[in-house]
Structure 1
Amino acid sequence: MATYVDILKSEFPEIDTELFQYITGVLASGGPDFEDGEEVYEAIGEVLEQGSGDTRNQDDVREICFQMFNTLQLNSHRGSNQVLLDAPVMLSQMSADNGSAAEDVQSGIWMMKRDKSTMVNAKKLEKAEAKLKQKHTRRNEKDSNKTAAPIVLEEASASQASSKKEKRVDESGKNKSYDIRIENFDVAFGERCLLQGAELSLSFGRRFGLIGRNGLGKTTLLKMLANRSLRVPAHISILHVEQEVAGDETPALQSVLESDTVREGLLGEEKRLNQRIANGTSDGMESIRLTEIYGKLEEIDSDKAPARASVILAGLGFSPKMQTQMTKEFSGGWRMRLALARALFAKPDLLLLDEPTNMLDVRAILWLETYLQTWASTILVVSHDRNFLNAVVTDIIHLHSQRLDSYRGDYENFIKTKEDRMKSQLREYEAQLQYRQHIQVFIDRFRFNANRAAQVQSKLKLLERLPELKPLDKEIEVTLRFPDNFEKLSPPILQLDEVEFYYSKDKLLFTGLNLSADLESRICIVGENGAGKSTILKLLMGELTPVNGIRQAHRALKIGYFSQHHVDQLDLNVCSIELLLNKFPGKTEEEYRHQLGGYGITGELSTRPVASLSGGQKSRVAFAQMTMPCPNFYILDEPTNHLDMETIEALAKSLNKYKGGVILVSHDERLIRLVCKELWVCDVGKVSRVEGGFDEYRDILQEQFRKEGYL
């Protein structure tokens, strides 16, 4: 195998001898201390670019440095330590002289010391060696820290400027406004600053969509508002839909009714008063109090509450039978829906929703969009669903660069307004830059002209007074890589023929199921939760065996599977690099970093415990893990959960470029429209194809809502 010396000679045949000796000396002395190819490039890259007499660009030189790093790593793994001697020595002769058996040494091994005239000057290596020593020290510290488990996750914190006047007004109860305005506040997560000097203004009755890249602090901001770490007037009620309902013996409908604490309190007091009257322990005041209670119950339409709660539950997918089931009988996903139903029924002054569409199917999302359009109080919702935001919100709040920017209108209006702002800021930046350059030209031209000295001084002062010129904040474009370096497979690729399946004999799930897919397939499976979408995926993957019928798959088919519960399949106690190392051993750290970098997990993110990453960042790690073996077919179950909109767009582009087959289950309307050519609707024990695509499916659902009276 080629050594770094061989690579250097072959890639730079015209390299100067002294420069060659210098570079090989740096690599020889620092080989064990280089942590990755980037450090090799930092040590010798600039020297190669400037002094090699070659016309290679920066990326080419960096790639060569990575190759040399791999040879250094190989040598260190082999444990090869070369010793250079002043004169040739025959080891077999040495063995004989020492009284050892000469025949144990089968052949002579010669080692020669390099002539001092060809050695690198030690002074030239001094700087490189000092740098390597520092890296070695840091690595030792890092290794010692690794043994100091357990991992302590960072905590979020918030602080804000406040005045005594605001506190007095709030505590006095004179503040009757339901508008929320929080000025000059900071939010941090551990040592990382998420927001600095930010302002948040929420006008009562408006619906705000909070958007921004994964990991910037959207969920953290909602939590700071929910626990009042950021000051919200005390009279404003807040409800944050974050955790699923605890499972107990309470029926689902009753659980929703109990979320209205005012109504429950009045009904409880009514019951106690009637018991006292019936028991003969009345003091005569019960009748007066009961009259007041009945008046308040009538005022809040208490008698209509069960019907309203039932409509909310039905809209979110709970059948009449499910509404009578105990909460402990539901899965986590359905308990999250129940938590959302409780919040919608309780009608808080400020409703905080974090990715509400993640737990819903397309049918429930369409219902929720319509329901929230008539919401009377304030909503702040974090969502990645572009169509949901367009249907629901009246304002957009954009979190970026540690600040919050507000825009009137829905998401599409935000995109247009943001582009207009960027163009305006770019024109202003270029105009200021040109003005500065014009002044600087005058200064440079007449700097040594005595007659113009006063004017030059004036221009210098003018230049100093100008505000600092800051370049525009441009967000880095998100890219995802789905490698497709595999051979094309001839059909049939994957199919189900006359498949029948059930989990229990008394409940047949599918019968006569005939489905097929190939490497050109872009299929989306839709349907209500519980209709069997995930079961179809498992039948296609071979994880479930049909009761009757046949699953056929090409012998070279390699499926990559993304589960909607992918976070449960990740080891949260290690960093992303270690995660890939444990799953796919035998590769270099640089290869693992390169794989993660293709999904936006770069630099410090790749060395942090997976548990400390945001939901979207964990999804990206799962993508990196799924694509590492280069599958030729992907089955994706709710891949957009927790992803920001930029990453969803990148996911769509990557899937469209990918040369293998794709079947996905998704509720994200935009992803379906961008990627899928075929729609399979899962309903009542069968799977049918919708010829008109998503538009036809949406029309079918809305017609069902009208017939069932949910709208």
Structure 2
Amino acid sequence: MALINLKTLGVTLGARLFSNLDLSVEAGDRIGIVAANGRGKSTLLRTIAGTFEATDGDVTKARGLTIGHVEQDIAPALLTLPFHEAVRQALPSEQAESESWRADVVLETFEVPDELRRRPLGALSGGWQRLALLARVWVNDPDALLLDEPTNHLDLARIRWLEDWLNGMPQSVPLIVASHDRAFLDAVTNRTLFLRADQSPVFALPYSRARLALDEVDASQERQFQRDIKAAQQLRRQAAKLNNIGINSGSDLLVIKTKQLKDRAERLEDAARPAHQERSAGAIRLANRGTHAKQLVTMDDAEVRTPDGTLLFKTGKRWICQGDRIVLLGRNGSGKSRLVGLLRDAILGGDGGQSGIRATPSLALGHVDQALADLGNTDTPMAAIGRRFEFGDQRLRSLLAGAGIGIDMQERPIGRLSGGQKSRIAMLVLRLTNPNFYLLDEPTNHLDIEGQEALETELMAHEASCLLVSHDRSFVRTVGNRFWQIENRKLIEVDGPENFFATVSEEQN
């Protein structure tokens, strides 16, 4: 028996986000929602939760069903509350006083350290804030759980913890999760909904297998469309020949036959459906100006320290060579971003003698940090690009539009854009910089799956040399050809990422 039922559901907000969506959600369902940025995933979750009204169709729920909805963003009013109090206040008022122990139980389950429970949420990392939102929902024992991009801001250890927790959740509680994290979707889902404007296919498979099935369906539909159009064209050619013969011979029978052929061609063309073509959220393209140097960066036992001077690790003697795509592995706080910062400063500032890091003089750097700090929130996209590169207004507008930043957004402060839009601006800056070495710190943050795959393709196609930090396991596995791991205050080279992934997972159990 369906706990939640969607019937011909549709939402139009200026453009059509989705329509004619039929979906039954039953106990045991673990459904992943996949779509590009801005294509309606969050809107669909809010519609199911009952906080947004659909344009068309209906959502029906089993009598008495309670739905827990964990949204992407934390409400500003919660930021001043201590972790424990934020969870306690999520209880109904009559329970908040007499059953505050429920908050304690959830925080124990979520392994929140005692010292963090007393801190305001605004003083905690984005990862802990996300877990606080989940705790606020779970403390009320919902009958169904909706998660919107739950792995945003989580480190790999917490992602693996969340996977284990969701997989251990009672089967009676269905899960619907919108996410761009492919490995996460594979780990926690058993059904996949590809949200589309017209027809949204559903497969009883986790993401990767569902994606292969979807590609086969789309390819089959495209082949059928081409066959139908070809058959219609042949009918029209036959009709044209008969028409000429009929005119010359004065045959009424041939005139009738001609009309019949034309009618058949029209019916075939009207019924022919082209395969779905995903409307891109904006192109991601990179460049590689190249260099004759074989060794791009040399590290001579460089020290990586915290701001207060505490030693995190030493690099030993390391080289980054042309064609290397090095993935830097390590737990949160081990110094990954600190090393990226040292490399950036050494390359741009030329202070290699001080830091123990030297770059070849021909090195041209392309850098993206996980906070996208180079893009000021008060800047507009036009100003951010125009200040860096000498293009006329028309060229700037064309470049931004190609990256998915429409005319209506080009004069808007960057701080008001979505994370996905900011990421695409950062990727455009990377391309226009035309580097021969990339430093990428969590580059797939906020990118949808289309964007992640495009970035992977570009790095591989251009044989780009790079050092990257990422919690995205699919991205790491696809792109990396060398792997450095921070362990016991040393930087060591390992054969691949799987042992590190497995170790992080085991530590959570």
Q: Same fold (TM over 0.5)?
A: yes
Q: Distance in 2 between matches of 1:552 and 1:323?
A: 44
Q: Distance in 2 between matches of 1:550 and 1:567?
A: 26
Q: 1:445 aligns with which of 232, 241, 264?
A: 241
The structure-2 alpha-carbon separation of the partners of 1:354 and 1:512, relative to structure 1 and needing over 3 Å to count, comes to same
The reply to whether residue 580 of structure 1 matches residue 403 of structure 2 is no
Verify the 8 A CA contact 1:385 1:668 in the aligned structure 2. yes
Alignment of 1:423-438 (within 5 A): 423-438=219-234
The CA deviation string for residues 466-518 of structure 1, in whole angstroms up to 9 with x for no partner, is: 5443332334788633222243335462425241523236xx24244435433
Aligned counterparts, 1:379-458, within 5 A:
379-447=175-243, 448=246, 449-458=251-260
Once the 2 structures are TM-superposed, how far is the Cα of residue 638 of structure 1 from its aligned partner? 0.8
Question: Residue 228 of structure 1 corresponds to which residue in structure 2?
Answer: 52
Q: Is 1:524 the counterpart of 2:327 in the alignment?
A: yes
Q: 1:55-87 CA distances to partner (integer Å, 9 max, x unpaired)? A: xxxxxxxxxxxxxxxxxxxxxxxxxxxxxxxxx
- Which residue of 2 is the match for residue 698 of structure 1? 501
Deviations, residues 504-554 of structure 1 (Å, cap 9, x unaligned): 36xx242444354333332222333333322221122228999x9634333
Displacement of 1:669 after TM fit? 0.8
Does the CA contact (< 8 Å) of 1:178 and 1:236 recur in 2?
Answer: no
Equivalent in the alignment of 1:282: none
Q: Which residue of 2 is the match for residue 277 of structure 1? A: none
Taking the aligned partners of 2:403 and 2:294, their CA distance within structure 1 comes to 34
**Structure 2 SS opposite 1:358:** coil
Q: Deviations over 1:436-473 (max 9, x none)?
A: 34543443233323243444444455555554433323
Structure 1 contact 690–697 (Cα < 8 Å) conserved? no
Report SS of the residue matched to 2:151: helix
- Counterpart residue number, 1:242: 72
What TM-score do the two structures reach when normalised by structure 1?
0.60
Counterpart amino acid of 1:185?
G
Q: Which runs of 5 or more residues in structure 2 are unaligned?
A: none
**Cα separation, 1, equivalents of 2:122 and 2:227:** 65
**TM-score, normalising length from structure 2?**
0.82
Matched, 1:677 2:481: yes
Structure number with larger C-alpha Rg: 1
CA contact (8 A) 1:493 1:518 kept: yes
Corresponding residue of 2:435: 631
SS of residue in 1 equivalent to 2:508: helix
The residue number in structure 2 matching 1:550 is: 356
- Higher RCO structure, 1 or 2 (CA under 8 Å, sep 6+): 2
Distance of 1:558 and 1:220 partners within structure 2:
42
Please, which of 74, 97, 113 is the counterpart of residue 268 of structure 1?
97
Aligned to 1:510: 312
**TM-align CA RMSD:** 3.6
Q: State how far apart, in whole Å, the 2-side matches of 1:310 and 1:437 are.
A: 68
Assess if the C-alpha contact under 8 Å between 2:5 and 2:24 holds in 1: yes
Aligned length: 485
Q: Which residue of 2 aligns with 1:185?
A: 10
Structure 1 position 202 matched with structure 2 position 25: yes
The answer to whether the 8 A contact 2:219-2:275 is kept is no
Structure 1, unaligned runs of 5 or more: 1-175, 272-301, 707-711
1:557 & 1:434 partners in 2: Cα distance? 53
Contact 1:179–1:202, Cα closer than 8 Å, also in 2 = yes
Q: How does 1:530-609 map to 2 (within 5 A)?
A: 530-542=333-345, 550-566=356-372, 569-571=375-377, 574=380, 576-584=381-389, 586-589=390-393, 591-592=395-396, 595-596=399-400, 600-601=403-404, 604=407, 607=410, 609=412
1:542 aligned counterpart, secondary structure: helix
Q: Displacement of 1:602 after TM fit?
A: 7.0
Displacement of 1:406 in angstroms is 1.8
1:40-51 map, 5 Å: none
Aligned to 2:158: 364
CA drift of 1:398 comes to 1.0
When residues 608 and 468 of structure 1 are mapped into structure 2, their CA distance, relative to the original with a 3 A threshold, is farther
Aligned partner of 2:232: which letter? R
Structure-2 separation of matches of 1:216 and 1:244: 21
- Take 1:210 and 1:329, find their aligned partners in 2: how far apart are those partners? 31
- Is 1:616 the equivalent of 2:459? no
One-letter amino acid of the structure 2 residue matched with residue 557 of structure 1? L
**Taking structure 1 as reference, are residues 268 and 328 closer, same or farther at Cα in structure 2, changes over 3 Å only?**
same
**Matched-pair contact (CA < 8 Å) for 2:328–2:336:** yes
Distance change (3 Å), C-alpha of 1:664 and 1:495: same
Equivalent position SS for 2:147: strand
Taking a change above 3 Å as real, the CA distance of residues 435 and 327 of structure 1, as seen in their structure-2 partners, is closer
1:353 and 2:147 are equivalent in the alignment: yes
Compared CA separation, residues 338 and 509, structure 1 to 2 (3 A): farther
Q: Are 1:310 and 2:108 matched, yes or no? A: yes
State how far apart, in whole Å, the 1-side matches of 2:482 and 2:275 are: 42
Partner of residue 212 from structure 1, selected from 35, 46, 59: 35
Kept in 2: contact 1:239–1:348 (CA 8 A): no
- Deviation of 1:640 (Å): 0.5
Are 1:186 and 1:197, in contact at CA under 8 Å, matched by a contact in 2? no
Q: Report how far residue 675 of structure 1 moved.
A: 1.3
The letter for the 1-side match of 2:108 is S
In 2, the alpha carbon distance for the partners of 1:431 and 1:554 equals 56
- What is the DSSP-based 3-state SS (H/G/I as helix, E as strand, rest coil) of the residue aligned with 1:357? coil
Q: What amino acid sits opposite 1:236 in the alignment?
A: T
Checking the alignment, whether the CA contact within 8 Å between 2:10 and 2:17 is kept in structure 1 is: no
In 1, are the aligned partners of 2:232 and 2:266 still within 8 Å (CA)?
no
Give the 3-state SS of the residue equivalent to 1:535 in structure 2: helix
Work out the CA distance in 2 between the residues paired with 1:411 and 1:520.
Answer: 31
Corresponding residue for residue 274 of structure 1: none
Q: 1:404 to 1:631 in 2, by over 3 A?
A: same
Once the two structures are superposed, residues 204-249 of structure 1 have per-residue CA deviations (whole angstroms, 9 ceiling, x without a partner) of 4412211122332323433444423246558533323322372335
Equivalent position SS for 2:202: strand
Give matches, 1:106-255, under 5 Å: 178-188=3-13, 191-226=14-49, 227-230=51-54, 232=59, 233=61, 235-244=65-74, 246-248=78-80, 250=82, 252-253=83-84, 255=86
Using the alignment, how far apart are the partners of 1:530 and 1:364 within structure 2? 13
Considering fraction of residues, name the structure with more helix.
1
1:205/1:511 CA distance change after superposition, 3 Å: closer
The answer for the alignment partner of 1:10 in structure 2 is none
